[in-house]
Amino acid sequence: MSAGGWLQLSAGRGPAECAWVLARLLPKLIAEAGAAGLRCEVRAQQAGAQPGTLQSVLLACDGAAFPAFAARWCGSVQWIGHSPFRPQHKRRNWFIGIESVQPPQRHHWHAQELHMQTLRASGPGGQHVNKTDSAVRITHLPSGLSSVARAERSQARNRALALHKLAQQLDARSSEAAAHSVEARWRCHDRLQRGDAVRVFVGPEFRERD
């Protein structure tokens, strides 16, 4: 994504109700982002302990309006309502946290970090494929990640495909690392401060309170 930024949504150390709130606020946030001209994509998420809940979400947003949009959401977000899991529970205030985070940098590797092996291709492709070492496995030595490509007859094309697949794996790992890093910060100290919410929603319809 060429412009914009990333948001981390977290239920922190809160109970299952907070993860339930997060799962229901996510589509509302994405819809508001779309109305602001942003395109959003979930890059990583962690399910909560209860079905239909989310412990954390890493959201990539593309568009020039991101700083203003993030400013309206970042901080503690409060929902006021009865617990969906414990109807008799007296608590009615539940909080999640939203933080703007730096997108992970795309990995640029050096040639010495890669180990390439040629393999005997197998499967569909005809006699030519089966008799040549056209398949390629590429291993990224620092991370131990590897990818194999054997769909093409050409070794050069398989090498390009394997590199592309390896880049996707490294990007996915970077996204997960960013999500875990922010999640750890939320868990280490209480960032979900009661009475200090930037947005407040009420009731099962999640109507925003002025």
The domain segmentation of the chain, as residue ranges, is 5-105+191-208, 111-171
Cα Rg of the chain (Å, integer) = 22
Rounded to an integer, the average pLDDT of 116-128 is 63
Rounded to an integer, the average pLDDT of 24-35 is 97
* pTM of full prediction above 0.75: no
Rounded to an integer, the average pLDDT of 188-200 is 66
For the stretch 78-104, pLDDT in tens is 999 999 999 889 999 999 999 888 776
Mark out the alpha helices in 39-197 (DSSP H runs): 66-73, 126-130, 155-188
- Specify the higher pLDDT residue, 139 or 182: 139
Q: How confident is the model at residue 126 (pLDDT cuts 50, 70, 90)?
A: very low
Closest listed residue to residue 76, CA positions, set 183, 185, 202, 194: 194
Residue range 5-105+191-208 in CATH 3.30.70.1660: yes
CB 122 within 8 A of CB 150: yes
- Specify the higher pLDDT residue, 171 or 64: 64
The class that CATH gives domain 111-171 is alpha beta
> Distance between CA 139 and CA 57 in Å, rounded?
29
> Distance between CA 31 and CA 39 in Å, rounded?
10
